[in-house]
Amino acid sequence: MTVVDPDTTAADTVASAADAEAARRRDPIARLPVSVRFALYAVVFVFVLTAAEQISGQSRLTAANTWASALKLTIPIALAALGGLWAERAGIVNIGLEGMMILGTFFGAWGCIQFGPWQGVLIGVLGGAVGGLVHAIAVVAFGVDHIVSGVAVNILAAGVTQFLNFDWFGSTNQSPRLPEVVGSVRVPGLHDLLGARLTGPSLLVWLAALLVLAVASVRFLTPERVEPLRRRLGPVGSFARPAAVTVLGLLSLLVVVDLAPYLARQERFGISELGRIVMGLTAEVSWIVVIGVVAFPLTTLILWHTKFGLRLRSVGEDPVAAESVGVNVYRMKVVATTVSGALAGLGGVSLVYLFANQYRAGQTNGRGYIGLAAMIFGNWRPGGTAVGAGLFGFTDTLSLLSGQATHALLLVVAIGAGVMVLRAIITGRWLSSLAIVAAGLAVYGWYLVTDELPNEIVVFLPHLTTLLVLTFASQRLRPPAADGQPYRRGQAG
C-alpha cells in the first residue's frame, strides 16, 4: 500500500524528492547503508571522546564504569522513546509517557514485593499498558485532544500511585525495598560460541572476515538479486538480506566483545578507549537492559517488515486512505497506544530495578518527556531514537560526575563541531558551517576561561541537551503526516 499525504500536491512531492536526492548525492555519508553509517558515527564519536580526553587529561569520558552507568541510564529513556514511537506512528501524540512510566515504577515495585521479580516486571508493564489504554480510549473513542489527554494521564498516574502507596505501604513517597530483582548476564563473546579461547590477533582476523562478508551482503544482496529468491521461497525469501546482515552483524559483535580486553591493553589512540567502552557496555548487564535493547530491532522488524506494521504506519500517515482499503483504524490506534504504554511501563520498571530498588515519588524525573524528545531527535525511526536516547543517557551520566570531568564535555562539543563543519562544507551548506564554527569557538572559549562547569549546569545538562537537540534537529524532521490529527470513522464521506 502506498500512503500519500492528501495535503501535499504532486508537484511538491516531486520537488521535495528531487531536493532530497540532490542532497543525498552531495553527501557521501548519506549514500552509505544505514548499518555502515551508524558504525561510522560510532567510530567518529569515539575519536572525538579520545581527543577530548587527551587534551583535557580527564579519563572518565571513556571509563568502563561511566559507560556501564550510561547504558543503565539510557534504558528508561529509550523505552519511553520507543513507546512514543509506537503511538505516534499510529497518529497518536503520547504526552502521557511520563504518567505511564510512573505507573510502571509503582506496579513494578508492588508486584515484585508481593509475587517476585519477574512477576513484578510483568505487572509493571501491565500498569503502563493500562495507562496507554486509558489514553487511547480518551483520544480514539471520545475524541479528547491528544495533549489534554496525555497531561491528564500524567496527573492521574502521579495521584493514583501515591494514594495506593499510602494505602498499601503506609507512605506517600516511597515503598519498602524490593526483596530481590532480576539477575544480570555477561554478554557472550565468539569464544563462547566456538568453545575455544581465541587470541587477540586471531580475533582481528575473524572481525575483518565478518565485516567483509557483511559489506558484501549489503552490496550484493540487492532487491533485484533477492527478488528471484523471494518468488521461489515466498515471504521467507524477502528476509534473506536482513537475515544475512543481522547474523553477520551479531557475529561481528561477539568478536568485538572478545576483543575488548585486548584492545583496552593496547594504549593506542582511540583503540584502548574503544575497548574500555565495549567492556563497560557488555559486562554484567541486567536482563531488563537486555530486554530494552532487544525491543529496538524487534520494533523495526514488526513495524517495517510485517503487514501489521504497514497497516499501523498507514494509519499514522493517512487514516482515511487506510480505512478505504479495509484497515480498522480505531483498532490500530488503540493497539499502538497500549503497546506504547507497556513500553513506557517497562521503562518505569527499569528505574526501580536498576537504581533505587524501591518505588519513590518523582522517580521518573521527567524522563518520559526526555524520551519524547529522543524520539523526535530520531525522526520517528528506531535507530535514530536509540541514538537520541543514548545521547541523553550519556549526558545524564556525566551530570553525576565531578565538575572537572564534565568540563571536558565542552571540548567534546567543540571538537564535534569541527567534525560537523567538515561535513557541512563537503555538502555545500556554507551558512550552516559558519553557524557551527561560531558555536564551536564559543564553546571552546568557555572551556579555556573556566576550570570546571558550575554545578547548576551539570545538574541541568540532560535537559539542556534536550533543548539543543530539538532546536538543531527541527529542520530535518519528518513526522507521520496525520500525527495528532483528529479522526472519526467514515469522515471521508
CB-CB neighbours of 370 under 10 Å: 28
Distance, in Å, from the CA atom of 81 to the CA atom of 314, rounded to the nearest integer, reads: 20
> CA 55, CA 76: separation in Å to the nearest integer?
33
User: What does the CA dihedral 7, 11, 16, 18 come to, rounded to 10 degrees?
Assistant: 160
Domain ranges of the chain: 28-186+282-476, 190-281
- Annotation: CATH topology of 28-186+282-476: ABC transporter involved in vitamin B12 uptake, BtuC (1.10.3470)
Q: What predicted TM-score, i.e. pTM, was given to this entire model?
A: 0.86
pLDDT tens-place values along the chain, 493 residues long: 334 444 443 344 344 444 445 555 566 777 776 767 777 888 888 898 888 888 888 778 888 888 999 999 999 999 999 999 999 999 999 999 999 999 999 999 999 999 999 999 999 999 999 999 999 999 999 999 999 999 999 999 999 999 999 999 988 888 999 999 898 888 877 777 776 666 666 767 776 776 676 666 666 655 666 666 566 666 555 566 667 667 777 777 777 888 888 888 888 888 888 889 988 888 888 999 999 999 998 999 899 988 999 999 999 999 999 998 989 999 999 999 999 999 999 999 999 999 989 999 889 988 999 999 899 888 899 988 998 899 888 888 877 776 667 788 888 888 888 888 887 787 777 777 788 788 889 888 988 888 877 767 776 766 666 676 666 655 567 889 988 888 887 665 5
Which cell goes with 211?
Answer: 565485516
Residue type, 18: A
